[in-house]
């Protein structure tokens, strides 16, 4: 049984991979890279998964004592994210209180990360779908800031744009920071993760 399920939200395929809406998926790919983990496709579950072991940062915890974490990205579009999340929770027998969803957040500036437990969906279609399919919003979230568009650009257009060359250095640091926050959350708990990363 997996200790934790960490799902990075986004839209599938290379067309969307670099968009703002896909920063959640970018974070779980960073975690898989750290763990030298190979991704596996699960067409029936509508998800791709990778397994890593995560120990408290800087403690040198041996891998057999570290937390087992299943990383996942969805094979559905954002507004159907709840389908693979529900499938994964059932297949892996993970409770919602051991689910972490990593997602883009309009109300947080680019470069900032926040961790929380439960709460509303704030208009996010991926979170709405997860609530609809699982019947709960009581899971952990790692919220990755993308900011709001300036001028008259619609939010729906904004989340489907890529990052500018000037933003990419900030993006890289933010993805690293969000991956660190996930590791802290699953090994040290929410209070320590918030103290360290909700700056």
User: Please, what is the average pLDDT of the chain?
Assistant: 92
The pLDDT value recorded for residue 2 is: 66
CB 134 within 8 A of CB 89: yes
The pLDDT value recorded for residue 195 is: 96
What pTM was computed for the model?
A: 0.93
Confidence category of residue 127, pLDDT binned at 50, 70, 90: very high
Coil, strand, or helix at residue 75? coil
Catalytic site positions: 21
pLDDT tens track for 52-93: 998 865 555 555 578 899 999 999 999 999 999 999 999 999
- Rounded to 10°, the helix 23-34/168-188 angle is 60
Tokens standing for residue 119: 């709460």
Beta strands 4-8 and 99-105: pairing type? parallel
Sequence-distant (≥ 6) Cβ neighbours of residue 84 within 8 angstroms: 7, 45, 46, 47, 72, 74, 75, 76
Residue 177 vs residues 41, 106, 119: alpha-carbon distances, Å? 27, 17, 22
Question: What element of type H or E holds 97?
Answer: none
Place of tokens 């650009």: 153
Edge-first strand listing for the sheet containing 67-74: 40-42, 47-54, 67-74, 4-8, 99-105, 140-145, 113-117
| Backbone angle region of 136, left / alpha / beta, with phi > 0 → left and psi within -120 to 50 → alpha | beta
Give the integer Cα–Cα distance in Å for 175 and 178. 5
Alpha helices in the chain (DSSP H): 23-34, 82-92, 125-134, 155-158, 168-188, 190-197
Place of tokens 């300036």: 150
């Amino acid at each position: 049984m997996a200790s934790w399920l960490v799902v990075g939200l986004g839209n599938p395929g290379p067309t969307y991979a670099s968009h703002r809406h896909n920063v959640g998926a970018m974070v779980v790919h960073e975690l898989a890279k750290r763990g030298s983990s190979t991704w596996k496709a699960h067409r029936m579950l509508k998800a791709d998964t990778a397994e890593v072991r995560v120990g408290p940062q800087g403690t040198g915890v041996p891998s057999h004592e570290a937390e087992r974490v299943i990383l996942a990205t969805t094979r559905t579009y954002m507004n159907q994210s709840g389908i693979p999340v529900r499938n994964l929770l059932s297949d892996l027998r993970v409770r919602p209180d051991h689910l972490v969803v990593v997602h883009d957040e309009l109300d947080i500036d680019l470069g900032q990360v926040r961790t929380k437990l439960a709460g509303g969906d704030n208009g996010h279609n991926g979170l709405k779908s997860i609530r609809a399919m699982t019947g709960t919003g009581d899971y952990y979230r790692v919220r990755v800031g993308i900011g709001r568009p300036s001028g008259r650009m619609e939010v729906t257009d904004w989340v489907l744009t890529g990052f500018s060359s000037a933003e990419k250095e900030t993006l890289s640091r933010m993805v690293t920071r969000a991956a660190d926050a996930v590791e802290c959350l699953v090994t040290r708990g929410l209070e320590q993760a918030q103290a360290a990363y909700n700056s």
